[in-house]
Amino acid sequence: MSQPIVSIKSVSKRFGSFVAVDDVDLEIAEGEFFAMLGPSGCGKTTLLRMIAGFETPTEGQVMIGGVDMSHTPPNRRPVNMVFQSYAVFPHMSVEKNVAYGLKMDRVPAAEIGPRVKEALALVQLSQFAERKPDQLSGGQRQRVALARALVKKPRVLLLDEPLSALDAKLRDAMRLELVKLQKSIGVSFIMVTHDQDEALAVADRIAVLHQGRLRQVAKPEALYQRPADAFVADFIGKANFFPALKVTRAGAGARVETKELPPLDFPAAPDGNLTLAVRPEKIGLGPEAEGEVRIEAKLGDVAFQGDSSLVELLLPSGRALLAATHGKSAAWVGAQKEGATIPLGWRVEDMLALKAD
Ligand SMILES: Nc1ncnc2c1ncn2[C@@H]1O[C@H](COP(=O)(O)OP(=O)(O)O)[C@@H](O)[C@H]1O
Ligand SMILES: [Mg+2]
């Protein structure tokens, strides 16, 4: 990475004895769309507020553009924040809402008009400049909030769950708009979300947080294919887990015994407690059951999804696995009766040996 636009160096934040952010190191690149993802309460907003300057780290340092921000107040930082509840002023027109921040900063009046115009054009609200917020849709109000932040020309835009107030369909459309906007203006975006689909859809890279700690930072594809541990594998996408009962180490590798699978050898395995995982689409069914891992299960519910099906498979232990099939195999499953015995198969190399919590 050339000089990162934001560096978070060993940052912790405690509220009393409660650790909200725990020794986090992160670097965000110039022009990057970066997402911070994790369950509610994991410290995402607190981390974002420390970048913005609304919270002070208990330990560590936030650098922006190579400059230590420890003594820089929020309004002097080259960042701007779009809040979770994007409060637009109801009594002001769209145009006045967007101009407000520039007025407060005493930007010369001659400069304000053109900058507001430009910001409204960016978020496609030019024709709504005179409207009041209550004459706008939810998506349009959200774009006013974006324009209000962008008009100040931040080097980094901080977004705290910016789409959470929108309904599902609008949210999907706004995701694409956000990505287009970010790529067209080249400003770094740091977006906080608890929604994995949202993070996967928009971000160049994602940081996964859990209880204040960073679990993994990677591109979406790598998070899915090579999760750092069982928490990440569970949080990103769907996975079937088999907790290890006995682990026999051999060099870097391990033989792993579980309740429901034959003993399996892995050429590499992390230290500590292990759990094995396999993604639903790696499980072959019926005529397509191949690979070293062979078991049988009874057919449960099948959720037809057009070009594919999600299949529930009941193991003799009583636990259910989830498989995703398409094409020939989906057609084959569709012809089976509920409760039928189904042969399953997958390859050891399609399994993950992960550190369990
Ligand atoms: N000002 C505060 N005082 C005390 N606890 C706080 C404060 N702000 C946040 N917390 C706590 O820190 C944890 C992380 O909060 P937050 O960063 O808002 O999580 P997230 O945005 O991931 O949902 C939560 O348990 C929250 O209750
Ligand atoms: Mg939050």
For residue 1, the CA-to-ligand 2 centroid distance in Å is 28
Q: Which architecture, in CATH terms, is 238-355?
A: Beta Barrel (2.40)
User: Quick one: average pLDDT of 173-190?
Assistant: 92
Task: Give the helix/strand (H/E) hosting 113.
Answer: helix 109-122
pLDDT digits (tens, 9 = 90+) for 52-66: 999 999 999 999 999
What integer pLDDT is reported at residue 18 of this predicted model? Answer: 98
Tell me which residue has its CA closest to atom 3 in ligand 1.
15
Nearest-atom index, ligand 1, CA of 16: 4
For residue 82, the CA-to-ligand 2 centroid distance in Å is 12
Ligand nearest to the CA of 211: 1
Distances (CA, A) of 336 to 308, 327, 329, 340, 341: 15, 15, 11, 7, 9
Nearest-atom index, ligand 1, CA of 38: 22
Tell me which residue has its CA closest to atom 16 in ligand 1.
43
What integer pLDDT is reported at residue 283 of this predicted model? Answer: 96
Tell me which residue has its CA closest to atom 27 in ligand 1.
41
Is 144 in contact with 88 (CB distance < 8 Å)? yes
Amino acid at 82: V
Tell me which residue has its CA closest to atom 17 in ligand 1.
43
What integer pLDDT is reported at residue 85 of this predicted model? Answer: 63
Ligand nearest to the CA of 212: 1
Paired strand residues for 160: 192
Q: Exposed, middle or buried by CB within 10 Å (0-12, 13-18, 19+), for 285?
A: buried
Distance CA 189, CA 203 (A): 9
User: Quick one: average pLDDT of 256-267?
Assistant: 97
pLDDT digits (tens, 9 = 90+) for 105-133: 999 999 999 999 999 998 889 999 999 99
DSSP code, position 10: E
Tell me which residue has its CA closest to atom 8 in ligand 1.
46
Instruction: List the domain boundaries for the chain.
Output: 6-231, 238-355
User: Quick one: average pLDDT of 32-60?
Assistant: 97
- Which CATH superfamily groups domain 6-231? P-loop containing nucleotide triphosphate hydrolases (3.40.50.300)
With a pLDDT cut of 70, the percent of the chain lying above it is 99
For residue 50, the CA-to-ligand 1 centroid distance in Å is 12
Distance of CA 256 to the CA centre of its chain: 31
Has residue 320 got a pLDDT over 90?
Answer: yes
- Please give the structure tokens belonging to residue 208: 């996964």
- Which of 18, 58, 191 to probe ligand 1 with, by most ligand atoms within 8 A of CB? 18
Has residue 197 got a pLDDT over 90?
Answer: yes
Has residue 2 got a pLDDT over 80?
Answer: no
pLDDT digits (tens, 9 = 90+) for 74-84: 999 999 998 76
Residues with CB under 6 A from ligand 1: 15, 18, 20, 38, 40-46
The set of residues, in sequence order, having a beta carbon less than 8 Å from that of 270 and lying 6+ positions away, is 229, 353, 354, 355
Has residue 268 got a pLDDT over 80?
Answer: yes
- Please give the structure tokens belonging to residue 322: 């989830």
Has residue 88 got a pLDDT over 90?
Answer: no
* DSSP output for 218-272: E-HHHHHHS-SSHHHHHHSS--EEEEEEEEEEETTEEEEEESSS--EEES---SS
